[in-house]
Amino acid sequence: MANTKSAIKNVRKAARNAARNQAVKTRLKTLAKTVSRAAAGPDAEAARAAAIAYSSALDRAVKSHVIHRNAASRHKSQCAKLIFVAKK
């Protein structure tokens, strides 16, 4: 249990940040599933739009330090590969 005022504040802050981070990560997972479903489907334009939305969300998550920039880069690369294969 936190004893000092600053430690108590840090516990509150950590809980608030964890809730925010969880919401962002959940959104990223949903967008990733949307991209994979769109890539499997016949509509290439929908897959491209989903990939753009996913990449944008990844960049925003990196900016707010929710995920590491290398992880985001890796996910964007895999997404681009999926879209390229779906286009053929």
Closest CA to 87 of 45, 57, 31: 45
Complete DSSP assignment for 50-85: HHHHHHHHHHHHHHTTSS-HHHHHHHHHHHHHHHHH
**pLDDT tens readout for residues 48-72:** 999 999 999 999 999 999 999 999 9
Domains and CATH numbers, the chain: 5-87 (1.20.58.110)
Q: Please say whether the dihedral angle defined by the alpha carbons of residues 48, 50, 56 and 59, taken in this order, is positive or negative.
A: negative
**pLDDT tens readout for residues 16-55:** 999 999 999 999 999 999 999 999 988 889 999 999 999 9
Contact 85, 41 (CB under 8 A): no
* Angle of CA points 36, 70, 63, to nearest 5°: 90
